[in-house]
Amino acid sequence: MLSMFSAARASSSTPSAAGRSGPSFGPRLNELGVGRFLLGVLAALALTACATGGGHNPTDIASVLARLPDTGLVLMGEQHDAPDHQRLQKELALALSTQGRLSAVVLEMAEAGRHTQGLAAGATEEQVRAALAWQDEAWPWKAYGPGVMAAVGAGVVVWGGNLPRSQLREAMANTNLDARLNVEEWREQESRMDAGHCGLLPASQWRPMGRVQTARDISMATVAQGLVRAGQVVLVWTGSEHADRQLGIPRFLGDTPALSVRMAAGGTSLTAGKRHDLVIATAAIADRDHCAELRATMRPRAP
């Protein structure tokens, strides 16, 4: 999933989370024949990742450090519009790099194939953004930049993990992806697509959109697995749905050890379940009706 701010601009955006427009590559998708309506509904792909929780001190990463695998992945599943979550990601990266235990950082916020390898620890923000082909419209640099720059400054390479936008249409039509989930899992995935798009997505597009979600999980899993080093961990910064053990990145990691963390903003305290290994509750953020914003820009789905 991509970012979750400003669904009002969804009709001119590409796959992005509800609540925030994605990068402006709608024209490229139109060339590929996806169509204006689909471009709009793609913008809500990650809406359901904006879940609630609450209770912990937002600077407390001790619970994560206590459960780290000796070698493997740590999936920091965030709510994209919760500043505490980006702060926690940065703090964990600094703590692990100080201990010499951080192999790499993998971002949902940048495409696979992009990375900061070869940049000096003193690289400028402009150099880092260029290396990652950063899309500020989708992922505000002011939110993610501090964490990215902290990792680079510590000598840790930051890698893009998300499915390249040039592959979105191919993923939608790739029926081979259907075999990656079972019947019950596809039922849930398609239900998420419907709910996450506020009931505006035609039923005929539930499976294609679900394939995009699955393709993104596979892409991030593949990139992260390739960066695992003995005695170190790879941090993956992504939305909480991608960190879901049943449908997300962990599903495609094989035997690679992984700690799935969900960061949840607001509400009452939560306990970890079969979806995530650990839940860190953070301060509430202002309520926002993403569906109302999306409906203002979309037409109702066909019967």
List the CATH number of the domain containing 80: 3.40.50.11550
Q: How many separate domains does the chain show?
A: 1
- Please choose, from the candidates 87, 90, 153, the residue with its C-alpha nearest in 3D space to the C-alpha of residue 119: 153
13 inside domain: no
- Asked if residue 138 is part of any domain, the answer here is yes
Cα–Cα dist 219/44, whole Å: 20
| In-domain check, residue 9 | no
pTM: 0.80
Region of 155 please: left (phi>0), alpha (psi -120 to 50) or beta: left
Phi and psi, residue 146, nearest 5°: -55, -40
Task: Give the pair of three-digit tokens for residue 87.
Answer: 């702060």
- Whether 205 maps to a domain, the answer reads no
Count of beta carbons in the 10 Å neighbourhood of residue 298:
21
In a domain, 78, yes or no: yes
Domain that includes residue 159, residue range: 62-164+213-282
Q: What is the pLDDT along the chain (303 residues), one digit of tens a residue?
A: 433 333 322 222 333 333 333 333 332 333 333 443 343 434 334 333 333 333 445 447 898 999 999 999 999 999 999 999 999 999 999 999 999 999 999 999 999 999 999 999 999 999 999 999 999 999 999 999 999 999 999 999 999 999 999 999 999 999 999 999 999 999 999 999 998 888 888 999 999 999 999 999 999 999 999 999 999 999 999 999 999 999 999 999 999 999 999 998 885 556 667 899 999 988 898 887 878 887 887 655 555
In angstroms, what is the C-alpha Rg of the chain?
Answer: 18
Closest CA to 162 of 130, 125, 114: 114
